[in-house]
A = this chain, B = another copy of it.
Amino acid sequence: MDYQVFDTTLRDGGQREGISYSVVDKLAVARLLDEFGVGFIEGGWPGAMPKDTEFFERAKTELELTNAVLVAFGATRRAGLDVAEDPQVRALLEAGTPVVCVVAKSDIRHVERALRTTAEENLAMVRDTVTHLAGHGRRVFVDCEHFFDGFRHDPDYTASVAKAAFDAGAERVVMCDTNGGMLPSMITEAVRDVVRRTGVSVDRFGIHCQNDTACAVANTVAAVEAGVKHFQCTANGYGERPGNADLFATVSNLQLKLGLNVLPDGCLENATRVSTALAEIANIAPDTHQAYVGAAAFAHKAGLHASAIKVDPLLYNHVDPAVVGNDMRILVTEMAGRASIELKSRELGIDLAGHPETLSAVTRRVKDLEAGGWSFEAADASFELLVRRELPGGGFAPPFALESYRVQVEHREDGAVISEATVKVRARGERVIATAEGNGPVNALDEALRKALLPHFPQLKSFELADYKVRILEGSHGSGAVTRVLLETSDGERDWTTVGVHENVVEASWHALVDALTYGLARATSPA
């Protein structure tokens, strides 16, 4: 590869509030990043973090990487200590990685006020640490912390730190916008100036950007355009504060917009899958609006232009979604017409081209429902059920029929809040009554319904409510307004989303629940 794609999801990305990887998580993250084709995976800080030490230990036997090499992160030796005696530097070597990345202070103010040492000792710390690590056969990268702020404040000192690292044998010196305050034009300017002052070729520098100006991706691209050949990113931009440069957007921009040779062939199309899987491991809801890889990245409200999009999708997409493993989605909205419904159905595997009457019936039905507050934008499963119900012989048989339900929420004198639901349904010719409690009315209803149906449909066991969203429509009418509920259900392998609308939140939830079970059971009993 012409470029070093350096991923630090496991080290700097872990600084994001709320992320806490287990060692097993870390191994899984590394495998996914390798599939995406990055060249370097910074796995953590051995010695400083016990989990990271364990990760590098287990990686030696459990991690086989195809595209990437593992990198251990550490700091320059402590002030006033012999580098060979520094336990943190020793841990860095014990991690046994071919590459190490050490952070160095490069802003004189941080040297003096945070590190509380002298300009000269800091330079010695850089030289000693790099020499020592390189002497043990490691490729050494040096992250210059607060590089750009330091360079603006005292360019000579910051340049001298970079120079010291190169002179001691560093393969790359990485300019880190630690506080994230840069804009692309400033990066371009600074890179040019650094090269001039150090006399070192630009392609030996690297870039690491934080997103505090919402420009981390653009700043990284600007540095690469200025000649830098090494860039540090995190998956989905995870990181402290507003995060880091997002790996997927950065790589996609460089490869697709600038035509650079960044990833091994065939890797970029893993972007969407890897991004989503990494979000799952981090236990962060995937950002549906993320560039390139988000579920909405190529979503279009069809309406007027549906027919034009059908003929010429590339006139409406900045790249072909398939190259990043994503799909174009047509949203079924208020403005929906026949063309977009036909398109949407085809996306779901139902060809309505030969069924003009069904297409008309579905279009009418969608319009009626949308006038009443329904929305199928985010509820593909409910939309598919709707289409199949209209399709001659195509409907999923409803697995049960409701006789009645009753839900009660009680706030008792002792302060306890109790929710209880009773459902009476008919399933496979049998009448079933079941009662259950839950931590809210909808949860109680869900529990009671499952209890009633489980004997007939053991597959229900694997269904889990993954997300539940409530929206009140026409809020100006107060709590009497119409309520729309979106339910996301998962069977561990697939997710599907259903919708329900009613003036009563419980009844709206009931509709979405029934669709969720109907769809899931039909899927479970028919070939995918």
Contacts and interface: CB of A to CB of B under 8 A. Distances in A.
A468 B481 contact: yes
Interface string A473-498: 11110111101000110000000000
B474 A22 contact: yes
Interface stretch (A87-95, A345-353, A411-419): A411-419
A318 B218 CA distance: 17
A110 B17 contact: no
Contacts of A386: none
Interface string A387-415: 00000000000000011111111111100
A509 B479 contact: yes
A222 B221 CA distance: 13
A305 B18 CA distance: 20
Contacts of A417: 502, 504, 506-507
A341 to B, nearest CB: 17
A261 interface: no
Interface in A217-254: 217-219, 221-222, 225, 240-243, 246, 249-250, 252-253
A409 B483 CA distance: 15
Contacts of A441: 409, 441, 504-506
A432 interface: no
Interface stretch (A288-296, A360-368, A454-462): A288-296
Nearest to A331: B17
A181 interface: yes
A293 B315 CA distance: 34
A81 interface: no
Interface stretch (A2-10, A119-127, A155-163, A207-215): A207-215
A422 to B, nearest CB: 9
A442 B331 contact: no
A522 interface: no
A409 B410 CA distance: 12
Copies of this chain present: 2
Which of the listed residues A24, A113, A211, A215 has the most CB atoms from chain B within 10 Å of its own CB?
A: A215
A215 B217 contact: yes
Nearest to A470: B470
A228 to B, nearest CB: 14
Which of the listed residues A253, A412, A440, A510 has the most CB atoms from chain B within 10 Å of its own CB?
A: A440
Contact of A283 (B218, B292, B308, B471): B471
A311 interface: yes
Interface in A356-390: 377-378
A446 B291 contact: no
A468 B213 CA distance: 30
B185 A225 contact: yes
A300 B180 CA distance: 13
Chain A interface residue bracket vs B: 35 or more
Nearest to A474: B22
B468 A471 contact: no
Contacts of A476: 22-24, 283, 285, 466-467
A505 B507 contact: no
Nearest to A423: B411
Contacts of A305: 114
B403 A413 contact: yes
Which of the listed residues A184, A211, A290, A378 has the most CB atoms from chain B within 10 Å of its own CB?
A: A184
Nearest to A502: B417
Interface in A152-210: 179-181, 183-186
A213 B503 contact: no
A378 B18 contact: yes
Nearest to A412: B404
A257 interface: yes
Contacts of A225: 185
24 contacts: A17-B299, A25-B475, A110-B308, A113-B311, A114-B305, A149-B315, A179-B317, A181-B318, A213-B217, A213-B292, A214-B217, A214-B246, A215-B218, A215-B221, A240-B301, A241-B297, A242-B289, A283-B476, A404-B412, A406-B409, A409-B441, A440-B504, A446-B479, A470-B483
Given A212-B292, A213-B257, A465-B479, 18 more contacts: A17-B331, A180-B318, A183-B253, A184-B221, A213-B253, A214-B249, A215-B215, A240-B301, A241-B297, A283-B471, A406-B410, A406-B411, A408-B409, A409-B506, A417-B502, A417-B506, A440-B505, A465-B480
What are the 8 A-B residue pairs with the smallest beta carbon separation, nearest first? A181-B318, A218-B218, A465-B478, A214-B249, A114-B308, A214-B291, A440-B504, A470-B470
